Chain A
């Protein structure tokens, strides 16, 4: 067990590598109840979010659609990353990180007042992520009955990637942090244990934080606090795709700072690394880029799928394909690749 943002969480339930493979090959379940669910209500939620986050909630046109974004400060530093679910014009739901909960809630509330938006933390909800090629089919038979909402079960099973729907007192999203298909299910806390047990009975493997980290890293997904944070901006964190500079008239927190940075040229970039020798890349190891400069590994691990070490690293923008990483005083060769390393069970780098 480890402390994670104030929560006692298991690193694994037996074997981290076996849990990792279970998700790539069949299905696993993660208790992600530490994630903080925040509901936003009011008449001006959309204009509020349009100002609050770097991605453009104008992209959310159909109820149920989700959007990944960074929450920036005025300097363009990343306060957190989050998912925004659009449920109706008066109701959006955010899911933010556990370690940034207090900071996020204070920040969101401080800005919400001006828009008359009501901010409600949903600490009453638990969240289970069921991930893997078999995950959705295995959840289907466990969805709650919803007599007042005929067709809800079919609608949940028909959800497109990155969209969500309520069913009974559950909220089911086709999202995840593993690079596999699956659901993230928010439900009353009392329902979490019965669901977990029922999933285990269907051969869905219990998975800990360790497998969650190796799976997300193989999937090329950033971890807040490792790969980006308040001292880095999204443009140098592999997250330029989440910053919507268009439409040009949309003001958002951090916009002016990011435009200035973009104008000067972004000095660093976040890349994937494949270690070509034996060893394990770890965060904070120094990356040496011959004739260019130095960088740093932001997240590193042994990839169970590739059976070699992989990493995300922040390096000078001019970095080409070859770098070296200082592992306990030895410079080992690594190759720069474009994440993701693995998606939907398939290796995407060679």
Chain B
């Protein structure tokens, strides 16, 4: 059973969103997603300052198996990208909700996060998917 921290919000496409104190949000992929992808070997993150639409492909995570797009759950501007993943993509496997974060975003609409899935909703989705 994969971990689904209760204090985060989730997207159907298996990203998580964490509100930070400064009004930005941190985004990564869920424990379920990293487990399904397998050992990650390459991560491509967007440039700081890039503007993203909600649902736009913003990063690529490649495992030994395949390359997968990561979609931004919210519209906003990239304020930071996790540079450590360049040399240590396995951080996503080891610590998907911590050291394996992908980007930080300044959302266009600070209320949009409320429309994302709660941990309970996301868990129900995983169960519906048979995970």
Seen from chain A, the residues whose Cβ lies within 8 Å of a Cβ on chain B are 11-12, 15-18, 210, 214, 278-280, 282, 301-302, 304, 309, 328
B60 partner residues in chain A, CB cutoff 8 A = 328
Chain A's closest residue to B38 (CB) is: A16
Contact with A along B91-127 (1 / 0, CB 8 A): 0000000000000000000000000000000000000
Give the distance in Å from the alpha carbon of A15 to the alpha carbon of B64 in the complex.
10
Chain A residues whose C-beta falls within 8 Å of the C-beta of B42 in the assembled complex: 278-280, 302, 309
- A16:B39 contact, CB within 8 angstroms: yes
Kindly supply a per-residue 1/0 record for chain B positions 29-53, scoring 1 wherever the CB is within 8 Å of any chain A CB and 0 otherwise.
0000000001101101000000000
Q: Are B62 and A12 interface neighbours, CB within 8 A?
A: no
State A41–B42 Cα separation when bound (angstroms). 51
- Give me the interface of B with A, judged by CB distance under 8 Å: 38-39, 41-42, 44, 60, 62, 64-67, 86
Contact A11:B67 (CB < 8 A) given known A278-B86, A302-B62? no
Residues on the B chain within 8 Å of A11, using CB? 38, 65
**Across the interface, do B64 and A282 meet the contact criterion of CB distance under 8 Å?**
no
Distance between Cα atoms of A214 and B64 in the complex (Å): 8
Q: What are 30 A-B contacts with C-beta separation under 8 Å? A: A11-B65, A12-B38, A15-B38, A15-B39, A16-B38, A16-B39, A16-B65, A17-B41, A17-B64, A18-B39, A210-B38, A210-B64, A210-B65, A214-B64, A278-B42, A279-B42, A279-B44, A279-B62, A280-B41, A280-B62, A282-B66, A282-B67, A302-B41, A302-B42, A302-B62, A302-B64, A304-B64, A309-B42, A328-B60, A328-B67
Q: How far is the CB of B94 from chain A (nearest CB, A)?
A: 11
Q: How far is the CA of A26 from the CA of B38 in the complex (A)?
A: 22
Contacts of B86 in A (CB 8 A): 278
Total cross-chain contacts (CB, 8 A): 37
Closest beta carbon of chain B to A336's beta carbon, Å: 21
Interface centre among B42, B60, B65, B86 (most CB of A within 10 A): B65
Of chain B, the residue at the smallest CB distance from A304 is B64
With A278-B86, A279-B42, A280-B42 already in contact, 19 other A-B pairs whose C-beta atoms are closer than 8 Å: A11-B38, A11-B65, A15-B38, A15-B39, A16-B38, A16-B64, A16-B65, A17-B39, A17-B41, A214-B64, A278-B42, A279-B62, A280-B41, A280-B62, A282-B66, A302-B41, A304-B64, A328-B60, A328-B67
Q: Which 4 A-B pairs have the closest CB atoms?
A: A302-B41, A17-B39, A280-B62, A16-B64
Q: How far is the CB of B91 from chain A (nearest CB, A)?
A: 14
CA distance A12 to B64 in the complex (A): 11
Q: Which residue of A lies closest to B66 (CB)?
A: A282
Evaluate contact between B67 and A280: CB separation under 8 angstroms: yes
Closest to A2 in B: B65
Residues of B contacting A328 with CB < 8 Å?
60, 67
Q: Which of B64, B65, B67 has the most chain A CB atoms inside 10 A of its CB?
A: B64
Q: Which residue of A lies closest to B86 (CB)?
A: A278
The docked-state distance in angstroms from the alpha carbon of A17 to that of B38 is: 9
Q: A15 contacts which chain B residues (CB < 8 A)?
A: 38-39
Q: Whose C-beta in chain B lies nearest to the C-beta of A280?
A: B62
Residues from chain B with a CB closer than 8 A to the CB of A301 are 64
CB distance from B122 to the nearest CB of A (A): 23
Complex Cα distance, B38 from A15, in Å, reads 7
Cα distance A17–B67 in the bound complex, in angstroms: 16
Min Cβ gap B111→A in Å is 33
A17 to B40, CA, bound (A): 9
Residue of A nearest to B90 (CB): A17
Interface centre among A17, A18, A210, A328 (most CB of B within 10 A): A17
Residues of the A chain whose Cβ atoms lie less than 8 Å from the Cβ of B65:
11, 16, 210
Report the Cα distance A164→B22, complex, angstroms.
68
Nearest-neighbour CB distance to chain B for A64, whole angstroms, equals 36
What's the Cα separation between A88 and B60 when bound, in Å?
55
Q: Chain A's nearest CB lies how many Å from the CB of B123?
A: 22
Complex Cα spacing A17 to B65, Å: 11
**In this complex, which of A12, A15, A302 has the most chain B Cβ atoms within 10 angstroms of its Cβ?**
A302
In the assembled complex, how far is the CB of residue A343 from the closest CB belonging to chain B, in whole angstroms?
A: 20
Q: Which residues of the other chain, B, contact A302 by a CB distance below 8 angstroms?
A: 41-42, 62, 64
Interfacial chain A residues near B67, Cβ < 8 Å: 280, 282, 328
Cα distance, A280 to B60, chains bound together (Å): 11
